[in-house]
Amino acid sequence: MGQQEKIPAEEALNLVLGKVKPKDADLKIEIKDALGRVCAEKIFAPIDNPPFDRSPLDGYAMQSADTAGASAENPAQLRVAGTVYAGDVFAGKLGKGEAVRIMTGAMFPPDCDCMVMQENASIADGGKIVSVSAPVAAYENYIRAGEDIRKGQLLIEAGERLDFARLTILAAMGMDAVPVKALPVTGLLCTGDELAAAGKPLPTGKIYNSNETLIGSRLRELGFSPKTLPASGDDAGAVAAKIDSVIDELDALITTGAVSVGEKDIFHEVFNILGAEKLFWRLNSKPGGAILTGIYRGRPLMCLSGNPFAALTGFELIVKPVLGKIASRADLAINKRRVKLRENLPAKPVRRFIRARVENGEAAFPAEHLSGQIFSIAGCNSLLDIPAGAALEAGDETEALLF
Amino acid sequence: MGQQEKIPAEEALNLVLGKVKPKDADLKIEIKDALGRVCAEKIFAPIDNPPFDRSPLDGYAMQSADTAGASAENPAQLRVAGTVYAGDVFAGKLGKGEAVRIMTGAMFPPDCDCMVMQENASIADGGKIVSVSAPVAAYENYIRAGEDIRKGQLLIEAGERLDFARLTILAAMGMDAVPVKALPVTGLLCTGDELAAAGKPLPTGKIYNSNETLIGSRLRELGFSPKTLPASGDDAGAVAAKIDSVIDELDALITTGAVSVGEKDIFHEVFNILGAEKLFWRLNSKPGGAILTGIYRGRPLMCLSGNPFAALTGFELIVKPVLGKIASRADLAINKRRVKLRENLPAKPVRRFIRARVENGEAAFPAEHLSGQIFSIAGCNSLLDIPAGAALEAGDETEALLF
């Protein structure tokens, strides 16, 4: 493949995916810090849950045999030999015709095989006698140890993301830490002599740097904590030196700006200075077609357009799934869905990605969607994939890539 | 309404919602820290975007009048008077028959009203002459100031959540800070003599505290940073004293455990000791029916069951929407959807909420879903609302509350 040819996004993505591998450093972190992280190993249950046979209700634990033949006329009367609360252990030994007052969640005394909820029991002699007016079956109202989780069973697969439910499972096992995949360290460098810093008056001819917020916030939404390098001007030597100085601290570097064909599109020169391996330059789609990627000292360099929506498109098509592979995050792979268009889209000669809001299988898109336009990105949740030459009408189907 | 009656979840929620109000403290925070926060005020555009008329491409800016009548045989030839890069200002004044080399994103010189992309221009005399072989219309390849965002226009509504797109809009305006609603401070207190700490061997009769991870992780997933109080035993006086000592630092307190009818269900007594206003006790649904809520020193106390899935159900039905109101988070309101069941559900006399996974409008649910069971919560994303007495079959519709 010639490096200067425009190629389909799918082919471009595969070129980069073929060159990166999952970050293999694993570490053990506390459960309370592990939300959203990727589990690094299969985890098997160290204990049963519940850990012991326990009562589901407040009432009286007993031996079912002692209730045989009980009726309203001839109730079984049992002596209450004690009380067991949740968290306690009943120390005594139960004889025939004896019961124990038991609370929800309390461990069954070993001699009992059932319980009667207090609403179905009659008490006499100041709580010392409990009467039951019907036979109770063995293991009625009886939760057995391991009914929820059996010691040794697989709890979490390696690669699963730790959400509230999976962390709760680990907590119920008494685990205070969990092995997780290391979070990739992502770097973000915005370039352009036209970029001005926020919070100060805008010099004539300059624009504020919105790409740092665009890509930085998107990374944070996906669970990364990007290292944001100070924005840089269009000096290839300075940018190359900057990249050279930080690359060893990073697992991937994302840049914006200076990847087209103009005089100040310095990244071709930056790659030459660094001696970085070029993987592809330019997709056969718009916007975001101007994207240059390569490998430098084993790390992917992903250089996006300076136009905000073009940068976002390149991010979704290439950067997100590449970071997904490095982070072992299956949920960051390209996520396509067939959707119905709500409006017509006239044909254009080039494959396009159009910002859209997909809801209930239908895609609405803003009238204004040029690549430099930011405002209409708000509310969108996907890119519509519009094939070259396709004139689509309301009701036609196409594919959407969900953010 | 009698406080001891079992009431529908909707009625219970309204009782609490009627007693809490949005946290009104607003603060200004840096854009880079504002992801996921709620915008506190309407924000209007302080400047145009783009801030000036600019070029969409690399090429040559000129006056359209100078290209009138141009053709391949008789091209318009213009003298290149200089170059303007993105971020620069063209200092000179353009005469008739003059053009300027212009780069993508650069400000148009005031005398120009169009540009020709470099692929459509011929250069002669070492770049000093540019030839155009067709007339160019006024404002062709011309991006006007304010085309994306017009100074003064409404950018963000008060109450909108700041996602990557909205933060990017603010960054393009040069704003370095944004007024946001204060994040409610949530407290979490798990109670029960049966609770053991993680990371140590489990004493007989005890269980590990999974509710702290369950509710804590769920709060973190929703964007809160809960203050987790040390788990407490079942002593009403001690729990009341603990609540009394922390309530002023909190906007809401969530507890788990001890809200049923047993001897150690201490929260009725805790409310009495505190003199807290009781709002309701018990829903007419299962699980999670045992939930006690009230107001203490203006803050909601929301006391959930100690059974993990019952606690989760109470959290989703009551706590989440209540915190949503306090946090001005519309996205935390109850979110219902009609779904089709994939399996039969036999009738029970009580309204039930069953854990389920909803995908493409269909709800699958685990075979094991007792309220003490944790393992089968993994993978679920909603609660199915099953009316009392309803025998539902595969294909029947019911409502799902999405997590």
Per-residue pLDDT tens over the stretch B109-165? 999 999 999 999 999 999 899 999 999 999 999 999 999 999 999 999 999 999 999
Return the CA Rg of chain A: 32
Position B262 pLDDT exceeds 80: no
Could you give the percent of chain B with pLDDT greater than 90? 92
Question: CB of A50 within 8 A of CB of A106?
Answer: no
For B9-25+183-332, give the CATH class. alpha beta
**Residue partners of B204: CB distance under 8 A and separation at least 6:** A52, A89, A107
Q: Which of residues 242-261 of A touch B (CB under 8 A)?
A: 260-261
Is A169 near chain B, with CB under 8 Å? yes
CB-CB under 8 Å, B375 with A148 = yes
Sign of CA dihedral B251, B255, B260, B265: negative
Note which residues in 140-159 of chain A have CB less than 8 A from chain B. Answer: 143, 147-149, 155
CATH placement of domain A27-47+160-181: 3.90.105.10
Determine whether the interchain pair A202/B174 forms a contact, defined as Cβ–Cβ distance below 8 Å.
yes
pLDDT per residue over B246-261, tens digit each? 999 999 999 999 898 7
Contact A372 B169 (CB under 8 A): no
Return the CATH fold of B336-402: Beta-clip (2.40.340)
Positions of E strands within A63-185: 76-84, 98-102, 114-117, 122-124, 129-132, 154-156, 177-181
Our measurement of the distance from residue B327's CA atom to the centroid of its chain's CA atoms, rounded to an integer in Å, reads 11
pLDDT digits 0-9 by tens, B36-62: 999 999 999 999 999 999 999 999 999
Q: Of B89, B234, B374, which has the smallest distance from its Cβ to A148's Cβ?
A: B374
In this complex, do A210 and B176 lie within 8 Å of one another by their Cβ atoms?
no
Partners of residue A170 in chain B, C-beta under 8 Å: 213
**B36 to chain A: closest CA residue:** A221
Q: Do A103 and B263 touch (CB under 8 A)?
A: yes
**Do the domains A9-25+183-332 and A59-132 sit in the same CATH topology, yes or no?**
no
Count of pairs with CB atoms under 8 A, one residue in A, one in B: 250
Domain boundaries, chain A: 9-25+183-332, 27-47+160-181, 59-132, 336-402
Which residues in chain A have Cβ-Cβ distances shorter than 8 Å to B146?
none
Q: What residues of chain B lie within 8 A of the CB of A379, using their CB?
A: 165
Query: Testing the interface with A: which of B28, B33, B104 to mutate, by most A Cβ within 10 A?
Result: B104
Residues from chain B that touch A234, judged by Cβ atoms under 8 A, are 85
Summarised one tens digit per residue, pLDDT across range A39-51 is 999 999 999 999 9
Indicate the burial class of A238 (C-beta count within 10 angstroms; 0-12, 13-18, 19 or more).
middle
Tell me which chain A residues have a C-beta less than 8 angstroms from the C-beta of B380. Answer: 165
> Any chain A CB within 8 A of the CB of B127?
no
- Are B281 and B3 in contact by the 8 Å Cβ rule? The answer is yes
Considering the segment(s) B59-132 as one domain, its CATH architecture is Beta Complex (2.170)
Summarize pLDDT for A275-319 with one digit per residue, the tens.
999 999 999 999 989 999 999 999 999 999 999 999 999 999 999
State whether residue B380 sits within 8 Å of chain A by CB.
yes
HEC string of A222-271? CCCCCEECCCECCCHHHHHHHHHHHHHHCCEEEEECCCCCCCCCCHHHHH
Q: How far apart are CA A39 and CA A238, in angstroms?
A: 39
Rounded to whole angstroms, the Cα distance separating A64 from B72 reads 104
Decide if pLDDT at A4 tops 70. Answer: no
Angle, nearest 10°, between helix axes B164-172 and A211-221?
A: 160
pLDDT in tens, A234-261: 999 999 999 999 999 999 999 999 888 7
Preceding amide of A287 cis, omega within 30: yes
The pLDDT of residue A369 is 80
Cβ–Cβ contact A364 with B under 8 A: no
What is the topology classification, in CATH, of domain B26-47+154-181? Answer: Molybdopterin biosynthesis moea protein, domain 2 (3.90.105)
What's the mean pLDDT when you consider all of chain A? 95
**Mean pLDDT of the A153-172 span:** 97
Residue type, A328: S
Q: Which pTM value belongs to this model?
A: 0.94
Contact B171 A50 (CB under 8 A): no
Residue B1 has a pLDDT of 37
pLDDT for A3 beyond 90: no
Lowest mean pLDDT among A95-99, A250-254, B23-27: B23-27
Interface contact flag, A264 B196, Cβ < 8 Å: no
- Residues from chain B that touch A163, judged by Cβ atoms under 8 A, are 217, 221, 378
pLDDT at residue B3 greater than cutoff 50: no
The residues that bridge with B161 in the sheet, in sequence order, are: B38
Structure tokens given for B146: 């304010």
Q: Look at B217 and A35 and tell me if their CB atoms are within 8 Å.
A: yes
pLDDT of A330 over the 70 cut: yes
Predicted confidence (pLDDT) at residue A79 exceeds the cutoff of 80: yes
Q: A354 with A367: CB under 8 angstroms?
A: no
What whole-number distance in Å separates Cα of residue A324 and Cα of residue A312?
16
Q: What is the pLDDT of residues B202-235, one digit of tens each?
A: 999 999 999 999 999 999 999 999 999 999 999 9
pLDDT of res. A2: 40
Cβ contact A46:A173 at 8 Å: yes
